[in-house]
Amino acid sequence: MSKNKNSLIIDTTDHATKGGLLNRRLFLSSAIATTAALATTRAAYGQEIVGEGQEDWVLYPGSDAVEYSNRSRFEVNSVKRLLPNDSQEFLDLRLTKIVARTPLDHLMGTITPNGLHFERSHQGIPDIDPDQHSLVIHGMVKNPLKFDINALENYPTVSRNHYMECSGNSNVLWQETPTNQSLQEIHGLLSGSEWTGVLLSTLLDECGISPDAKWIIAEGADNGMMTRSIPIDKALDDTMIAIRQNGERIRPSQGYPMRLFNPGFEGNTSVKWLRSIYVSDRPVMSIQETAKYTDMMPDDMALQFTLEQDVKSIITRPSSAMSLKKKGIYEITGVAWSGKGKIARVEVSVDGGNTWADTALEGPIHAKMLTRFRIPWMWDGSPAVLQSRAIDEFGRFQPTRKQLIDARGRNGVYHFHAVHSWGVATNGEIKNVYA
């Protein structure tokens, strides 16, 4: 106990007020130091205080409550990962780091902590003063209207659990040879949250949209002003102007102070830092829906407006970040999601897809949200290939990689949603494989 580095340090410069009163914490630590000295004396007489052998955090008062909490200082590995392969010259020219992936292997349940939600911007994260920001809705409407964050907070809001997945998530799996990348690098552009916002239909209704309206064009207030066209049926269905994520105001990297949120649509359509919605009779054909976010098919045509996401699932444990230390029972778990609705069923195979077993789904199951599946597995030490495949409530199924490539070729850059395989070697190491 006398080794405790806090016990005898009295910092007389730690003043609580002017005039010589020191912080009361110092009194407490010197009192404890005295106790420690007494304990040493008692031990010499064959007596020990009852706390002997206890760790410091049991014996000493902890730290102060704080205004905004952080994680344990020991949780150093559960962090987002930036692009690992870019050269410094590239990053220097690109000016800002624009991608950060969620550490799925460190998370359980279905909600991603706000600080670990994946980030994707095109020209950096703007530092928006909410008092200088508003959303303008205009175009084919009777009344063009403007809403600031205070106005939006006054409307009745909805809070809904939804996943968000970047259109380019898992796209390294289109490559011909399997990558050595980790779960986080391959699939980490995926997160889940409770999003709170005002349904866009409420605001469009107040603006009085024309019966000829077919699309809305959303523009952000970021550098580069991200722009996407959204079909009006979606805009009038469950699209919201999200202002909160897991209860608190959305973070700058998620579009503070307001973003479009299109549940189940490719992530890029949920325009962050939203400041303009133009109601239109046609899509605007922005760069992000023509030159980008489109996929070349085998017949040289490009699929455009692949907006509603397919059914997909991934195993998060065991996965690349860990190795199996010995034979025995392991839980195989992961998440499944569908851009159309609820997950109905997830099956797991440990023999590369020859045989499949039903998994337990953890409820409540929300539409367009991650659903966690679990199944126990006895590993006998032989090589294994772990796979999961999902089916949604509409019977849409997750194809094998071969089935997907047979239909769409390998020249697409986005929208990879096929079954993924983790290869387990006899030494317990796990890596991405094609099976």
Residues of span 301-340 touching another protein by CB under 8 A: 301-308
What span, in angstroms and rounded, lies between the C-alpha atoms of 283 and 300? 22
For residue 364, say if its preceding peptide bond is cis, omega within 30 degrees of 0: yes
For residue 329, the minimal CB distance to another protein (Å) is: 32
For residue 336, the minimal CB distance to another protein (Å) is: 17
> Which of these ranges, 4-12, 31-39, 145-153, 185-193, lies near another protein under the rule CB under 8 A?
145-153
Structure tokens at 346: 């997830």
Question: Is beta strand 99-101 parallel, antiparallel or unpaired with respect to 81-82?
Answer: antiparallel
What span, in angstroms and rounded, lies between the C-alpha atoms of 316 and 322? 10
Q: Is 435 in the site for another protein (CB under 8 A)?
A: no
Q: Is 18 in the site for another protein (CB under 8 A)?
A: no
Measuring CA to CA, how many Å separate 378 from each of 317, 350, 426? 14, 10, 14
Which of 22/151 has CB closer to another protein? 151
> Which of these ranges, 74-82, 150-158, 249-257, 375-383, lies near another protein under the rule CB under 8 A?
150-158
Tell which one of 276, 309, 316, 338 touches another protein (CB under 8 A): 276
Which of 161/276 has CB closer to another protein? 276
For residue 141, the minimal CB distance to another protein (Å) is: 9
User: Which of the residues 185 through 244 are near another protein (CB under 8 A)?
Assistant: 203, 206-208, 217, 219, 221, 223-225, 227, 231, 233
For residue 400, the minimal CB distance to another protein (Å) is: 8
Q: Is 134 in the site for another protein (CB under 8 A)?
A: yes
User: Which of the residues 351 through 410 are near another protein (CB under 8 A)?
Assistant: 397, 399-400, 403-404, 406-408, 410
For residue 147, the minimal CB distance to another protein (Å) is: 5
Count of beta carbons in the 10 Å neighbourhood of residue 310: 20
Q: Is 278 in the site for another protein (CB under 8 A)?
A: yes
Number of C-alpha atoms within 13 angstroms, CB side, residue 342?
9
What span, in angstroms and rounded, lies between the C-alpha atoms of 322 and 320? 6
Q: Is 287 in the site for another protein (CB under 8 A)?
A: yes
For residue 399, say if its preceding peptide bond is cis, omega within 30 degrees of 0: no
What span, in angstroms and rounded, lies between the C-alpha atoms of 410 and 366? 32
Question: Applying CB under 8 A, what is the total number of residues that bind another protein?
Answer: 71
Which of 316/421 has CB closer to another protein? 421
**Is residue 250 within 8 Å of residue 242, measured between CB atoms?**
yes
For residue 87, the minimal CB distance to another protein (Å) is: 7
DSSP-derived 3-state class of residue 277: strand
The site string for another protein over 92-111 (x = CB under 8 A, - otherwise) reads -xxx----------------
Q: Is 284 in the site for another protein (CB under 8 A)?
A: yes
What span, in angstroms and rounded, lies between the C-alpha atoms of 211 and 274? 24
Structure tokens at 126: 């703007």
Which of 119/219 has CB closer to another protein? 219
Q: What phi, psi does 252 have (nearest 5°)? A: -50, -40
**Is residue 311 within 8 Å of residue 336, measured between CB atoms?**
yes
The site string for another protein over 65-94 (x = CB under 8 A, - otherwise) reads ----------------------x-xx--xx
Tell which one of 17, 69, 72, 143 touches another protein (CB under 8 A): 143
Count of beta carbons in the 10 Å neighbourhood of residue 146: 11
Which of 317/389 has CB closer to another protein? 389
Burial of 119-129, coded b for 16+ CB within 10 Å and e otherwise, reads bbbbeebbebe
